[in-house]
């Protein structure tokens, strides 16, 4: 059946070289439409004047505010000086000087180690890893060093001023090494904070909180939203608290939990579930993976009795497992159906098969349906 679908859509047919010079033999070779629809937050009114920004501009704005207000703050990584491969640092070097916004050699373990050293002196270090997929060379520095610096020294030394930013998540065609969502690897490491925003307003407020926070933070930026997500973002600094999930839509039948881009997928799922099944969904954006907001999620599940967790990362050992297990412990008497996890499969992230790999709205809707019929 899958094979038939391939042939009908034309996806998967080998594309003969230079065939585009002639009349294309297949009708549909355009890149697939995105798997989500970004829904802007209502413009925040409490933080002063706003400006239309996409996600990369919101990230840039957060760093601009930081460099302006904190003379110790520096930004570094691969190719950040000219503005970054995703434009997140455009203009900052010209504005704040080359000793504050600078390129490093191409070496992730070096970038994080260097950032820890800066932070250990009390200065603010904002390190960029070019793709979350390339954070693994720095795994030792993050897990054995950054996360344990304060604890092992009895609080004499810490690297709480360190923030590591990295583009994250699927992007339509990123394949194995430009698509990964490695948050669960870090969720197993006490001492770290791990944060993922769902849009520009969240990105700026959460990034500023990460930078201000006195613990080493990893901030994953959903790169598919860099340009796609546009909304009104406050121009000045503002802070969205870490370790606080947000109920985006109240509901009574089932709780849906996600973070990053997947929040927008679940918003659509909630609409579909309402329309097609008459089901009322409560949507929660977890935002902080570690330490996560157990209370908000459990409170919701106590009310709805059902929980679906969805993430792009593979299911086995994914963070949904942690949420699922905790909710099962805390809400055993309230659960009316097994907790559903709709996640990536336990494979590497594929190139041409991405549409089949990701936990899209149809997979999530089907899970909701099954849960309601349990």
CB-nearer residue toward other proteins: 138 or 269: 138
Residue numbers 252-281 binding other proteins by CB under 8 A = none
167 vs 77: CA distance, rounded Å: 13
> Using the rule CB under 8 A, is 355 a contact of other proteins?
no
295 binds other proteins (CB under 8 A): yes
CA distance 179 to 21: 31
**What is the rounded CA–CA span in Å between residue 186 and residue 288?**
12
User: Smallest gap, in angstroms, from Cβ of residue 323 to other proteins?
Assistant: 12
CA separation for the pair 241, 207 (Å, rounded) = 10
- Looking at the DSSP assignment, which residues form a beta bridge with residue 258? 285
Q: Which of 94/140 has CB closer to other proteins?
A: 140
Distance separating alpha carbons of residues 364 and 256, to the nearest angstrom:
9
**Least distance (Å) from other proteins to the CB of residue 281?**
26
CB of 213 to other proteins, least distance (A): 8
Catalytic residue, chosen from 35, 78, 108, 264, is 108
Catalytic residue status for 108: yes
Site membership for other proteins, residue 239 (CB under 8 A): no
Q: Give the DSSP per-residue string, 182-215.
A: THHHHHT-TT-EEE--SSHHHHHHHHHHHHHSSS
Q: Quick one: which segment of 81-89, 198-206, 259-267, 287-295 binds other proteins (CB under 8 A)?
A: 287-295
Q: Is 107 in the site for other proteins (CB under 8 A)?
A: yes
Place of tokens 């993050």: 142
Binding footprint of other proteins, residue count (CB under 8 A): 50
Contact string (CB under 8 A) for other proteins, positions 4-43, x = contact: ----------------xx----------------------
Complete DSSP assignment for 244-273:
--EEEE--SSEEEEE-TTHHHHHHHHHHHI
Closest approach, Cβ 138 to other proteins, in A, equals 10
Question: Least separation, in Å, of the C-beta of 220 and other proteins?
Answer: 19
Does position 243 interact with other proteins (CB under 8 A)? The reply is yes
Measured distance CA(79)–CA(62) in Å, rounded: 19
Which backbone phi and psi does 48 adopt, to 5 degrees? 85, -165
Q: Which is nearer to other proteins, 160 or 344 (CB)?
A: 160
How far CA 76 is from CA of 55, 66, 112, 114, 366, in Å, comes to 19, 14, 10, 9, 44
Nearest to 314 by CA among 351, 289, 343, 271: 343
> What is the phi/psi pair of residue 233, to 5°?
-125, 135
Of 15 and 20, the one with the shorter C-beta distance to other proteins is: 20
Give the footprint of other proteins on this chain (CB under 8 A).
20-21, 72, 74, 99, 102, 104-105, 107, 109-110, 112-123, 125, 137, 140-141, 144-145, 148-158, 160, 190-191, 193, 214-215, 243, 291, 294-295
Catalytic positions, please?
108, 178
């Amino acid at each position: 059946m899958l094979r038939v679908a391939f042939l009908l859509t034309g996806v998967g047919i080998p594309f003969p070289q230079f065939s585009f010079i002639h009349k294309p033999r297949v009708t549909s070779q355009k890149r697939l439409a995105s798997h989500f629809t970004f829904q802007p937050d209502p413009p925040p009114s409490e933080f002063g004047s706003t400006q239309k920004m996409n996600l990369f501009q919101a990230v840039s704005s957060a760093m601009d505010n930081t460099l302006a207000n904190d003379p110790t703050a520096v930004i570094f990584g691969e190719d950040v000086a000219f503005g970054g491969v995703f434009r997140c640092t455009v203009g900052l070097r010209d504005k704040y000087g080359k000793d504050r916004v600078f390129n490093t050699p191409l070496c992730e373990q070096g970038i994080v180690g260097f950032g820890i050293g800066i932070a250990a002196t009390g200065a603010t270090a904002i390190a960029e890893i070019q793709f979350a997929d390339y954070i693994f060379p720095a795994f030792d520095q993050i897990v054995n060093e950054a996360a344990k610096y304060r604890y092992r020294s009895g609080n004499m030394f810490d690297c709480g001023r360190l923030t590591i930013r990295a583009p994250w998540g699927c992007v339509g065609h990123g394949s194995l090494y430009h698509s990964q969502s490695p948050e669960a690897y870090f969720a197993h490491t006490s001492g770290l904070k791990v944060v993922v925003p769902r849009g520009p307003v969240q990105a700026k407020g959460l990034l500023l909180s990460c930078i201000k926070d006195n613990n080493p933070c990893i901030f994953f930026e959903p790169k598919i939203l860099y340009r796609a997500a546009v909304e009104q973002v406050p121009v000045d600094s503002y802070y969205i608290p870490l370790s606080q999930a947000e109920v985006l839509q109240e509901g009574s039948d089932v709780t849906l939990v996600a973070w990053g881009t997947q929040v927008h997928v679940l918003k659509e799922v909630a609409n579909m579930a309402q329309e097609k099944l008459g089901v009322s969904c409560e949507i929660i954006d977890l935002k902080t993976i570690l330490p996560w907001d157990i209370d908000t999620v459990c409170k919701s599940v106590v009310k709805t009795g059902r929980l679906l967790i969805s993430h792009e990362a593979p299911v086995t050992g994914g963070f949904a497992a942690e949420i699922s297990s905790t909710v099962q412990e805390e809400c055993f008497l309230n659960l009316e159906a097994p907790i559903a996890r709709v996640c990536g499969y336990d494979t590497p992230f594929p190139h041409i098969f991405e549409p089949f790999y990701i936990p899209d709205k149809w997979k999530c809707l089907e899970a909701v349906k099954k849960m309601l019929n349990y």
